[in-house]
Amino acid sequence: MARIRYGARDEAEIAAARAAGSRLPDIWSTGVVAVWESDPDVVAAVLPPPLKPTGRPLVRANISKVDLPGYPLGAGSVAVAAEHGGVAGWYPLVMPMTHERALIGGREVFGEPKKLGEVEVERDGLVVRARLARHGIAFVEVRGAVSGDLPLPEPTRKTDFYFKFLPAVDGSGFEADPVLVHCVRNEKVRKLEAVTGDVVLRESMYDPVADLPVRSLVEITIGEKTTDQQGRVVERVSAQSLLPYIHQRYDDPAQILDGPPEGSV
């Protein structure tokens, strides 16, 4: 009988898939990173508890092209500086991805706020332009010119904070208390250049990062880097405390509260 592709895989196939995922080579990306100071009250307002603001109301836009074997990936994020349990890191509000595989893995495994979108990084000589777009709106655009080489940083560890949860079947909230994830990335950089330019935030009802205005531009860089990542659950979070922030994850703010229509299949 021909193999039934929706049928169960045997233990050897499962082990082979797990082993293939654990021995990935270094995957290098070319990316533009812009960091700015915003309004401290706004940054504090977007942080679900138990995350807290840091000493500076920083926002970071990361816009990258990733050299994945077989197909290039566009990957981006807009995040705000945050702190939890003495650990400083970043809380991403939106993470556009150009491919479904990168989106599904990040959302289901780590709780990353990934969405399908357009991610572009262009360089013509010294001129650099990078953008994140969804629904026809380039809600973040970074543009400028390379102004010189920067010293290569030592390998570093960076932490992102995510909330992983499962919406309730009846639309009442969650099936269980959400969990807070610390995702630690080990980053190596092989090329880094400074960019003189600006950051443009455009109004979007789907991705309202324009609410995080550029009060003071800290830096813009373009570089080549590789990272790995490991996540761990650090604590369970009160469903009631997280529920007011869940609209951050969805284009339709009411989606998390939608119950199944009567008679639906």
At residue 16, the pLDDT reads 84
At residue 21, the pLDDT reads 61
For residues 149 and 99, give the distance between their C-alpha atoms in angstroms, rounded to a whole number: 32
CATH number at residue 116: 2.40.400.10
Q: Is residue 5 part of a domain?
A: no
Domain count for the chain, please give it: 1
CB 99 within 8 A of CB 119: no
Q: Is residue 173 part of a domain?
A: no
pLDDT band for position 24 (50/70/90)?
low
Q: Is residue 9 part of a domain?
A: no
Q: What is the pTM of this model?
A: 0.91
Q: Is residue 258 part of a domain?
A: no
Q: Is residue 82 part of a domain?
A: yes
Q: Is residue 68 part of a domain?
A: yes
What is the amino acid identity at position 133? A
**Strand partners of residue 220:** 34
Q: Is residue 236 part of a domain?
A: no
* DSSP class of 15: H
**Strand partners of residue 146:** 195
169-228 tens-digit pLDDT: 887 888 999 999 999 999 999 999 999 999 999 999 999 999 999 999 999 999 999 999
Range(s) of the domain holding residue 58: 25-155+187-229
At residue 168, the pLDDT reads 86
For residues 129 and 206, give the distance between their C-alpha atoms in angstroms, rounded to a whole number: 22
Q: Is residue 255 part of a domain?
A: no
